Amino acid sequence: MKIHLYVIVFICFGNSAIAQHRFEGKIDTERWQSDVFLSVIDDYRTLEGIHDEQIISKTTADAEGFFQFNGNQLDPEHKIYKLHVDNCTSFNQASNHFDGHCSDSRDILFIAKHNDTISFPLSFDAQMFCDIDSSNPKTAAFIRIDSLKEDMKFAYSEFRSKANRQLNNKKWFKTLQEFGKNLDEPLAELYIYSFLSDRSNQFHAYYLEDLKHNSYYDELLDRLKEKHPNSPYTTQYETELTSDQFILNSTSQDHSSINWTYILIGLLIVSAVANLWFVFLVKNNKKQQHLEAKEQLTAQEQNVLELILDHYTNKDIAEALFISVSTVKTHINNVYKKLSVTSRDELKSLFNS
């Protein structure tokens, strides 16, 4: 009797034990197209722009602008995600997503894991992607950092003098680093680090000076290794930090005794290895996502999926599996629903990218 009871409980509630995420919100459909994209950011140097390789799902907002992403395919560890909308035309949208350029887009970055429920409501004056409502305190870390960065911009713009810049560099580097540390999430600190160490902004020279004597950067590496030991974020940060420290140590020596050829070769090797490792991690992550997506399907639905990817027509699939065309259509609709796609082209793009 007890065994039968356990079976009944498992059948009724077994699916609820699977960790589900749900991201939902509203967009201004008068201003934006209704497609909403969800991306995972494995490289913290690509937080800006739109990149096709980062997109993991797409949904369409309803007439009132409501959208929702849900499922169980996200990682159990915290990762950086992005929601975005854009007004790229459907003709060149794929190209814009690939090269990261779309002049008319809006996005929001956030931290999440596989079982988070997050809402992105419209804020004052119907502004979208300005607020986050989540039970996970880490989710809105980037918004809090962006608010602090706005205060920072005001401080720098008050007096545009060299003396003011020097004072503000010292103050705001320390302020942002302490703020990130107190958030108790190293991924939020990487968001700050990528901003302060960006080679294209005015802070890079001061960052290199700060790196010479500030133990913060090595301590951040320790925190990353503790909380995200197998993450590509940690590998990327360690590689960048080692490279920058190597450059600083090299330039502090007598230039006449330095063989720059060996240094350049060494940096090229480090860069090549890091890039190859990152490409491997991205491909491995996509492979894992595909496997997890297929696990949502029944055995027959997986058979149908494989035949679709092999460019079989509905009639061909019916003949191959000895089922009717109407049954094939039912299986295809189930596959579309479970994998959040609406066409064969989207399905092939998901698995053949």
pLDDT tens digits, 68-107: 999 988 999 999 999 999 988 654 555 555 455 677 889 9
Backbone φ and ψ for 113, nearest 5 degrees, come out as: -135, -175
CA–CA dist 316, 132 (Å, integer): 47
- Which residue type occupies 68? Q
Confidence of residue 16 (pLDDT cuts 50, 70, 90): very low
Residue 257 — pLDDT band, cuts 50, 70, 90? low
DSSP 124: G
What is the Cα gyration radius of the chain?
24
Give the whole-angstrom CA distance, residue 214 versus residue 278: 28
User: What percentage of the chain's residues is helix, strand, coil (to nearest 5)?
Assistant: 60, 15, 30
Across the beta sheet with 55-60, the strand order is: 55-60, 35-41, 79-86, 105-112
Helices (H) and strands (E) in the chain, counts: 13, 8
- Name the average pLDDT for the chain: 84
Instruction: Give SS3 for 5.
Output: helix
Question: Which residue type occupies 38?
Answer: L
Mean pLDDT is lowest, of 134-138, 161-165, 203-207, for 161-165
Specify the amino acid at residue 61.
Answer: A
